[in-house]
Amino acid sequence: MPKGKVYFVGAGPGDPGLVTLSAVRALAKADVVIYDFLANKRLLEYAVRAKETIYVGKKGGSRYTTQEHINKLLLKHAGAGKMVVRLKGGDPFVFGRGGEEALVVQEKSIPFEVIPGVSSAVAAAAYSGIPLTHRGVASSVSIITGQESARKAVTSIDWGGVASGKSTLVVLMGWKNLPLIVKRLLKEGAKPSIPVAVIRWGTLPLQKCVTARLDTVVQVVKDEGILPPVAIVVGNVVKLRERLNWFESRPLHGKNILVTRASMQSGAFAGLLEERGASVEAVALLKTVAPSSYAPLDKAIRRLASYDWAVFTSVNGVEYFIRRLYKKGYDLRELKGVRLAAIGKATEAALRARGLRVDLVAKDFRAEGLIAALKGKVKGRKFLLPRAEKAREVLPEYIEAKGGTIDIAPVYRTIKPRKEGERIRERLLERGYDVVTFTSSSAVKNFVSLLKKTEIAGLMIGVTVACIGPVTAEAARAAGIKVDIMPKSATVPEMAEAIADFYSDRS
């Protein structure tokens, strides 16, 4: 049996963008991932070949899984010849018991590697605009665990240095013992006025940072409802936050946004919103799958040379058409002599990315825009329309009315994934969304179908609604949903920017 191996991987402080390339590579080849509460679940998406992902989280002092059981899991799976990733929040060797787990593996002669991660001790402060060291303010920093240090009579912690204001103290896992930490610092001679920052969910869109004097911070944390996990920063460097607070100053910070885009396309949109500070929940109200029948498309592929125009109305249309073209043993050379038209910049970009020249792009990113662009180019021409199985008939009706012929070839269809309706309804009842986004009229219809007609108006009170374009907005209004945001151009980047501008204008 081949030997297994354990990778002790630092998941970083929470923001999945802070994970290292080495961590991604390790996850990509893992058979088993054993992960903690503080490891962002989105990192599991890199574990493409993993047969098992095992949660062993510990939260707020409670124990979901014992350390002994975690050790047994490591030995069991690595001993069976599997590649195991032990995914730990922050850095595996900083207050994470990673060293203990590595010794357990080493004692059994199981190969292992350690892949460092960005520690929340550094990252939470940086994302709060607090440099841990700063010339003329603090030239040293101590990082401690708040679970025990404040009570120790003999300690290596430079309490006196922190008390003097010349050093910075970072306390991880210190929420419970914050009163003891404050008491110890005051006992060591710290000024009651020394600034303290308490950062919850550092580096995540949910991040909240409160600052206070040392002698008032316990009460401020209580008043503000700050709960674990937190990182605590004590020292004069905290004063710099007033000028360097970049993360919480982004236009969508603290906003919870529901993205209802099709499952295969939600990632890019979510990323654009997250860059602007939003907390995004992507729910696939639409899932794109193969059409009910490929017969019309296969027939069109066999006689591509007979068409004057091929009209693509979406990125999905491009993807599914080309995929089927290759599946049937053809390639892009079959499109020689066929002029290409596209609705929207994204659709145009999808065609150009495959080396295809686009002859006509609608300025108005909907069927009506293409109709305007096709004036005088229809009569006597033959068109191919690879599109969704269900779509508006505006374009086919226009082409036929103007003396052209058109073959409609469904290349995909959209279905509603199950079990999403109740979750969305619960979140709406909890007022859990600040913004709901729609990128197609189908998404609107599916969203509405998940709710009772009589409750839609009530559930959407206080929710900002963003629609990608006029057709989608019309569908929303028809369903009784007020539309607040619509970009000038019907593209995902423009929509993300429009949402950010909406809140920037109100701040």
| Active-site amino acid positions | 36, 58, 173
Q: Using CA atoms in the order 155, 202, 233, 236, what is the torsion angle rounded to 10 degrees?
A: 150
Longest distance between any two alpha carbons in the chain, whole Å: 93
Amino acid at 345: K
Q: Is 97 left (phi over 0), alpha (psi -120 to 50) or beta?
A: left
Distance (Å, whole) CA 506 – CA 278: 16
Amino acid at 20: T
Q: What sections of 354-479 are H helices per DSSP?
A: 367-373, 394-401, 421-429, 441-449, 456-459, 470-478
Strand partners, 115: 9
Distance (Å, whole) CA 322 – CA 304: 13
Full DSSP string of 274-328: HHTT-EEEE--S-EEE--S--HHHHHHHHTGGG-SEEEE-SHHHHHHHHHHHHHT
Question: Does residue 195 sit in helix, strand or coil?
Answer: strand
Burial of 393 (C-beta count, 10 Å sphere; 0-12/13-18/19+) = exposed
